[in-house]
Structure formats: C-alpha cells, structure tokens
Structure 1
C-alpha cells in the first residue's frame, strides 16, 4: 500500500531540510550543505540522478566550500588584501606592461625554479595589487605566502631584537615559499635595515621566490642602503634571474577621484557668481 503525503491548501513548499537532518549535518560538521541542498535536490530530480551521483555532487560542494574557506583564512594569515585578487584586477586601457610576461607569472612557474619577481613602476599603477594577486594564486596552490610592506617588516624585525626572537623571525621568513616585499626602498635604509635585507635575500637565494614591488629601479636601491658592499651583494642575488615586470601609466588613485565639476549645482554656482 502506498501512502501519499498531501500538502494542505495554501501551505508553502515543504522545507527539504528537517530538524533531524539539520542536527545530523551539524554533528558531521556539514552545516554548509544546508545553503545548497534545496537547489541540489531540485537539480537531482531534474536530471534523474542516481544516489551515488547525488552524493558525489554534495561532497564536491563541500570540498569546494572548505577549500575556499581555507584559502580565505590562509590569505588573511599571509597578510594579503582580500580585495586584491586576479579576478578583481580591473586594469585601465592606458596602463602599459608586458601582458605575456604577466600571464606567465600567474602560472607561478617562477616559484618552481625559486626565481624572483620585480614589479616596478611609478606610484599608483597597481603594483601592490598585482603582487597580492600572485600571492592569492600561491595560496590556492597550497604555497606558504607572506606579504608585508617593507618598512613594517623592518620595524617588526627591530622589535624582535628587543625580545630575542630575531632568529625565529628570520627562519620563518627564510622558509616561506613566496615572500612579497611591498614598497621596497621607498625611503633610505639604515645600517640595521640594510643588514636585515641582506640576510633575508641571502637565506632565500636559490631556495624560495621573493616578489619585490618598488617605485625605484634596482640601480637606485644601491644608493638607498647604508652599506654599499651588503647592498651590492643583496641586490645582485635578488635580481639575478629575476623576472622584471614594469608597469607604466597614470595613477589609478588620481583616476578614481570624483569629478567635482559633475557634482556642482548650476543654480548654486550662478548664485555664487553674483
């Protein structure tokens, strides 16, 4: 005998996720499935999926969800700006750079050879965004990534000297798969900073990849450091075999400024003229 369940007239659709199923999902730490389960049930009915195919679909959703959350958490720990990803790179038409080289860099093949990347150009052309985007790709590839504005990194290392954790900090920086130093040589480096930069570069040379963004050419970096010999040794190691992406064009910050002329009230302007 077949029992048919009828829905009272005027009642809304039956919730496919009852209280028992909700508790089971929570116990198995699968609560994320609740948001997509109704849609997946509808898809399974439409496509007449078998049980195994339906289960594979649900588990695939959960793997994708967990990978996305893991990537988000690791990107945050790496210091990456969550808004500076490859899919959010909205480049203006007047920006000039080698797009073939950029496409190759996004493959992260340079990390396999432990090569460096220099992203050079004037202020405001998106160097930080491009470097961060490579960092996010690295996170998705399960690489360890650390992003830091260079002056803040030197400040942290200076503080590490005071609490005797400098060696641990240096080991951590040496081990990371992809180190991103943003705004390097924006100002002159003192003796301590020059030495720290030298140590970081030497420890990572031919072992792991380092991305450096800067408004200055490497030749100018030499004049920005207090010890000429350490500077030459560090810059030579960092630039040998490095891929150099030069970005040129007007500052996007200036382009983003609102046009005040478009917001001026014509009547108010006329009154001010009188």
Structure 2
C-alpha cells in the first residue's frame, strides 16, 4: 500500500532519480537481501547522478558550442603541433581554476575551433561554466545590447563565466569601439576568470591587428602573459577528411 504513495511523494519533491531507482528496486527481488542503509545508498547515488547529469546538460546548452567536440576524440595521428602531454595537463582544468588563459593559433582547418570547444566541453564536465563566442558576431551582439540597455548586464554575466572562448580572433579590423569593448571584457576577467582565444593570426601579429597601440598593449597585457600557447600546423583537417572518404569537407574538424 505504501509503494505507490512513496513514488508519488518522491516525484512531487522532484527526487526523480530516487523515484526511478526505487521503482527498479521494487522489480528486483534480489535487492531485498540488501540492508536498509545499502538500498538507501543506492537511491541517493542515483539521485546525485541524475542531478549531476542535468547540471552538465544545462552547462553544455548555455555554452552554445557550434558542434560536438571532446578531448577524447582528438586526432593525434597527423603531426600538427598537438602534444598529448600538454592536452592532458589542460584537461585537468587547473588552468581554469588558476584563471590562466589558452591561446590557440593555426591556419584555417587546422582544428582550432574543435580543440577550443573540446577544452571548454571538458570545463563543463568539471563543473565550470563556459561560453563560446565568435568575436565578429559577439561585437554585433554588444552593439545591439548597447541600444536596448542590456550592455552592462551582458558584461556582468560574462565576467562571472568561468571560461569564455573567443573564436575567429583578428578575422577583421577592429573599430575603436570594439577595441574598448574587448578591453572591458578582458579587464573584468583578468586574474578572475579564464579566457581561451582561437585565431588564424600568429600571436606576434595581434598587436598590429588590434590597431591602436595603447589599447593593444592593454588588451594583450591582460591576455598573453599568463597564457598557455598552442600552435597548430599542417594541412587542413577538413581537406584531409574529405580526401580520405570522398565526401564534402566537414564544418567541424578535430
């Protein structure tokens, strides 16, 4: 008589993991041989797992990744500047906890976006918040936010995000307003949060690409000096994959 009300009560309290686990236990006679503490422990473990999975799914959705990317699926078969020891070190997330940065540079198709998203996906799995931004589109979003009054709120939200990925850095010349927006973003994050930048431009060209020397100095001072640097090389992964299977080039490489 108490079984159905107990399940209903667990679901009403949004303890769906425990409710599911209890329903499964009731269908497994062998579970009756376990002690009360052991059965309760199994229920609590399931609830914790369900909640962890829900939180991870929410972090991944909020990160707005352009595709699915994981460190486990990185392709090390072709020499392109990927060092397993460096990736293994970054996979621990210690650089995020220490509020360091990662800078990934390389030619088109070398795997910059995939690696950036894979590192950010690992950050989500470690319990950190992340957000992927294409810099040209982000500047347009900021301009709109200034017009409708969301600018300050948007910057505050970004300042609280554990890891922000800035992709397509240096793709187009910056306006003075964009330089100041970029400095505002990085100043809020410097020493407080981690930032990952992916760019086709070599790092020693960034100062020229940013433009105005004083602002360029300030921006790079907050970005480069406490950063891990990864330089990818070689033929486009998209072209290589297309050659290997005869298909069209993929949007996301690894």
Question: If the TM-score is normalised by the length of the shorter chain, which range does it land in?
Answer: 0.7 to 0.9
Q: Which moved more, 1:57-66 or 1:201-210?
A: 201-210
Scaled by the length of structure 1, the TM-score of the pair is 0.77
* Contact preservation (8 Å) 1:191, 1:225: no
1:160 equivalent in structure 2: 145
Alignment map for 1:1-274 (pairs within 5 Å): 23-32=8-17, 45=30, 48-81=33-66, 83-87=68-72, 89-96=73-80, 97-257=82-242, 258-259=245-246
Flag the 1:254–1:205 CA change in 2: closer, same or farther, 3 A: same
SS in 2 for 1:169: helix
* Contact preservation (8 Å) 1:121, 1:215: yes
Shift of 1:100: 1.1
Runs of 4+ in structure 1 displaced over 4 angstroms? 18-22, 32-44
* Contact preservation (8 Å) 2:180, 2:215: yes
Flag the 1:143–1:188 CA change in 2: closer, same or farther, 3 A: same
Calculate the aligned-residue CA RMSD, in Å: 2.7
Q: Please identify the structure whose Cα radius of gyration is greater.
A: 1
Take 1:126 and 1:36, find their aligned partners in 2: how far apart are those partners? Answer: 42
Take 1:165 and 1:152, find their aligned partners in 2: how far apart are those partners? Answer: 16
Structure 1 unaligned residues grouped into runs of 5+: 1-17, 261-274
* Contact preservation (8 Å) 1:40, 1:58: no
Flag the 1:48–1:22 CA change in 2: closer, same or farther, 3 A: closer
Flag the 1:53–1:93 CA change in 2: closer, same or farther, 3 A: same
How many residues align structurally?
242
Scaled by the length of structure 2, the TM-score of the pair is 0.82
Flag the 1:206–1:22 CA change in 2: closer, same or farther, 3 A: closer
